């Protein structure tokens, strides 16, 4: 009677599943989305114009609290969400110190 053994999976440690060059367009897109989100948060502080849909205010509060949108965008950019919040708060402190 033949012994039933599970075959070993092929060794694929040397070949990446997705090439780094293939990831770059997606990383660029998410980085642009994060930059626009931070821009909206800053615009809430610096502009006193209409904010239809409260998009700027939402971005501001999410960035200050390291909210779900900040965490989501930062992770898609392979960044630490807490660092995004720290940098935004640092910018806010500097803006207020300049009289903004």
Q: Is 83 or 3 the better-scoring residue by pLDDT? A: 83
Exposed (0-12), middle (13-18) or buried (19+): which is 77, by Cβ within 10 Å? Answer: buried
pLDDT at 42: 95
Q: Is 81 or 52 the better-scoring residue by pLDDT? A: 81
Domain extent for 36: 23-46+53-97
Residue 40 belongs to a domain: yes
> How much is the pTM?
0.76
Residue 7 belongs to a domain: no
Q: Distance from first CA to last CA of the chain, Å, rounded?
A: 83
pLDDT at residue 69 greater than cutoff 80: yes
Measure the CA–CA gap between 88 and 76, rounded to whole angstroms. 18
Weakest mean pLDDT among 26-35, 44-53, 62-71: 44-53
Number of domains within the chain: 1
Q: Which residue has the tokens 């392979």?
A: 78
pLDDT at 73: 97
Q: pLDDT band at residue 99, thresholds of 50, 70 and 90?
A: confident
pLDDT at residue 6 greater than cutoff 90: no
Measure the CA–CA gap between 3 and 40, rounded to whole angstroms. 65
């Amino acid at each position: 009677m033949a012994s039933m053994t599970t075959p070993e999976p092929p060794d694929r440690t040397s070949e990446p599943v997705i090439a780094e060059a293939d990831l770059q367009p997606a990383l660029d897109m998410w980085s642009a989305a994060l930059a626009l989100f931070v821009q909206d948060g800053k615009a809430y502080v610096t502009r006193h114009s209409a904010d239809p849909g409260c998009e700027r205010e939402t971005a501001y509060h999410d960035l200050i609290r390291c909210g779900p949108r900040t965490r989501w965008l930062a992770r898609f950019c392979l960044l630490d969400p807490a660092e995004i919040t720290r940098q935004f708060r640092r910018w806010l402190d500097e803006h207020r110190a300049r009289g903004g």
